[in-house]
Amino acid sequence: MQVPGRELQNAYKVNGLKKYKEFDLEGAIEDFNKGLEINPRDISLHFNLACAYSLTEQVDKAYAHLDRAVALGFNDFEKLKTHDDLAYVRIQDRFEEFQKNGYRLEIPVAPPIVLKTEETPAEEQVQDDVLLAQLKRLAELRDRGLLSEQEFVIEKKKLTR
């Protein structure tokens, strides 16, 4: 029976944590990812995946899940600086930049596409193309679940100022 106001426990999360504690990291990663299929906004699943990926030296995936956890509201930054299982992430050259970014990955910006028309000077066209590429990239990140709708709107406002 479900208690009002409480979410049912995600079985993949429970099994993943058990495997993680038994140091079956590949099994834990598999279960955590299945858990995210049920609840892609689960902050602890993203954090646990980051730890498991760090321990298996899959640094890009570790950073991606830390970024997502922070985007979803994770704010125990001291834990990111001290958690033993994130040691491999912290020794990477890019950790300092990641930290300066508020534990967020930078949004890659596509190179400008230069098109010249008679009506629009080349400089204005390049600026429009860069803005369009950035907006498309933000939409892609949102569609892939790496940005929430709220984050998308905030970043879009920053770009269109």
Across 69-73, 119-123, 124-128, 151-155, the highest mean pLDDT is recorded for 69-73
Q: What is the pLDDT of residue 4?
A: 47
pLDDT digits (tens, 9 = 90+) for 23-56: 999 999 999 999 999 999 999 999 999 999 999 9
> What pLDDT shows up at residue 6?
43
61-86 residue pLDDT tens: 999 999 999 989 999 999 999 999 99
Which residue ranges form the domains of the chain, and what is each CATH number? 11-100 (1.25.40.10), 107-161 (no CATH)
Which tokens sit at 107? 């949004």
Q: Evaluate whether 130 touches 160 at the Cβ level (below 8 Å).
A: no
Please tell me which residue, 122 or 104, carries the higher pLDDT value. 104
- How would DSSP label each residue in 25-57? HHHHHHHHHHHHHH-TT-HHHHHHHHHHHHHTT
Mean pLDDT of the chain: 83
Q: List Cβ neighbours of 87 (8 Å cut-off, separation of 6 or more).
A: 54
Q: Which tokens hold the place of 17?
A: 């944590």
